[in-house]
A and B are shown apart, each in its own frame.
Chain A
């Protein structure tokens, strides 16, 4: 959220014509070029990843308590999200 607020403030001070998502590597390149959209895009990627951390945490707890059925369930949820990442090919 901090990244997004910083990126939006930067954009308000120095607007950029970029209006597409860039992906993680290009976003970092854009920041080094001085394009605030890079920072906003990075903020969006971090935001999307937040619920992912929740699944990983639950997975770790299930593994620690040896609840293998739920480890499998968590891995399945992660696999479906991975499917979404590669769905466009």
Chain B
């Protein structure tokens, strides 16, 4: 019996490592891997899997966020303003998830997987010229230095209202489904708000941990964080992400992304079957 439990724990640890690794290689949060593995593979209820996944999101964002802040890429002011919306959304999302049937959550997660797969294949980038200078009552303009050519990139932030609304949605999704929300946050900052891609990724990374924290607190309060499971998943994701960020530049991401997108569509189908009660 004990040997079986140990094998179970090692299996979860291995998948959490893989989730952290893939997350940092593909630019996704680990949640997109962890939740299907825990629910479809190990039979955990959606809410328990989400509680554990939020711990993985916090753990894997901790290391990379401090790296980006040190590099001066994160726009802390913009991140903090958008966090008002993401944390609020995250708390609301988590509260909805706590009282929602797990089959509905599984269906919602299936839709998220399909969105992430399509986003991964055709990741559009803003081609507009970045405009320096403030906008509105808060000056959120920022600049960073390109590592390759030493050039300074200055940019202003546009359409803050729309960005806040989208952040509310991204936070809601984070709390509801246990993911970081970067797949929404990064394109919103880049395409709508005029933030250069590298700064958008770094700012999103800074925000993800805080957004997940707000949702995680709700899950913890409602006893939906199983300490052993959450501990294993957090440790696995942390070390997986640490390895991933070190080898990311050596791997051809494009091929891996296409392969993974196909896998995500397959897992989405499984999630829909789970939602329909066809599989346990």
A binds B: yes
Chain A: residues with CB nearer than 8 A to chain B?
Answer: 1, 4-5, 7-8, 11-12, 15, 18-22, 37, 40-41, 43-44, 47-48, 50-52, 54-55, 58, 69-70, 73-74, 76-77, 80-81, 83-85, 87-88
Q: Identify 11 residue pairs between A and B in the complex whose beta-carbon atoms are under 8 Å apart, listed by A's number.
A: A12-B9, A19-B228, A20-B226, A20-B227, A40-B228, A54-B206, A54-B209, A74-B80, A76-B84, A77-B83, A84-B215
- CB-CB under 8 A from B87, the residues of chain A are 77, 80-81, 84
Extra contacts besides A5-B235, A44-B55, A51-B210 (12): CB < 8 Å: A4-B235, A18-B227, A20-B223, A22-B227, A44-B225, A47-B55, A51-B62, A55-B210, A69-B138, A76-B84, A77-B87, A84-B215
- Find the B residue at minimum CB distance from A42: B227
Query: A21 contacts B223, CB within 8 Å?
Result: yes
Taking the closest CB of chain A, its distance from the CB of B202, in whole angstroms, is 13
| Given A54-B206, A70-B77, A19 contacting B2 (CB threshold 8 A) | no
Q: Judge if B201 is at the interface, Cβ distance under 8 Å.
A: no
- CB-CB under 8 A from A47, the residues of chain B are 55, 58-59, 62, 234
- CB-CB under 8 A from A55, the residues of chain B are 80, 83, 210
Q: Among the listed B59, B61, B217, B220, which residue makes an inter-chain contact with A81, where contact means beta carbons less than 8 Å apart?
A: B217
Q: How far is the CA of A47 from the CA of B217 in the complex (A)?
A: 11
9 A-B pairs closest in CB distance: A51-B209, A84-B217, A40-B231, A88-B221, A51-B210, A51-B213, A80-B87, A40-B227, A84-B91
Query: A87 contacts B95, CB within 8 Å?
Result: yes
Query: A58 contacts B209, CB within 8 Å?
Result: no
Q: How far is the CA of A84 from the CA of B90 in the complex (A)?
A: 9
- CB-CB under 8 A from B138, the residues of chain A are 69-70
- CB-CB under 8 A from A76, the residues of chain B are 84
- Find the A residue at minimum CB distance from B87: A80
Query: Between A and B, how many residue pairs show CB distances below 8 Å?
Result: 121
Query: A7 contacts B231, CB within 8 Å?
Result: yes
| Given A15-B5, A21-B225, A52-B213, A84 contacting B58 (CB threshold 8 A) | no
| Given A8-B232, A37-B227, A54-B206, A48 contacting B84 (CB threshold 8 A) | no
Taking the closest CB of chain A, its distance from the CB of B86, in whole angstroms, is 9
Q: Among the listed A58, A84, A85, which residue makes an inter-chain contact with B76, where contact means beta carbons less than 8 Å apart?
A: A58
- CB-CB under 8 A from A4, the residues of chain B are 231, 234-235
Query: A87 contacts B91, CB within 8 Å?
Result: yes
Query: B238 contacts A19, CB within 8 Å?
Result: no
Q: Among the listed A11, A22, A70, A81, which residue makes an inter-chain contact with B228, where contact means beta carbons less than 8 Å apart?
A: A11
Q: Judge if B218 is at the interface, Cβ distance under 8 Å.
A: yes
Taking the closest CB of chain A, its distance from the CB of B5, in whole angstroms, is 7
Q: Judge if B6 is at the interface, Cβ distance under 8 Å.
A: yes
Query: B213 contacts A81, CB within 8 Å?
Result: yes
Query: A87 contacts B223, CB within 8 Å?
Result: no
Query: B80 contacts A58, CB within 8 Å?
Result: yes
Query: A44 contacts B221, CB within 8 Å?
Result: no
- CB-CB under 8 A from B216, the residues of chain A are 48
- Find the A residue at minimum CB distance from B95: A87
Q: Judge if B65 is at the interface, Cβ distance under 8 Å.
A: yes
Q: Judge if B222 is at the interface, Cβ distance under 8 Å.
A: yes
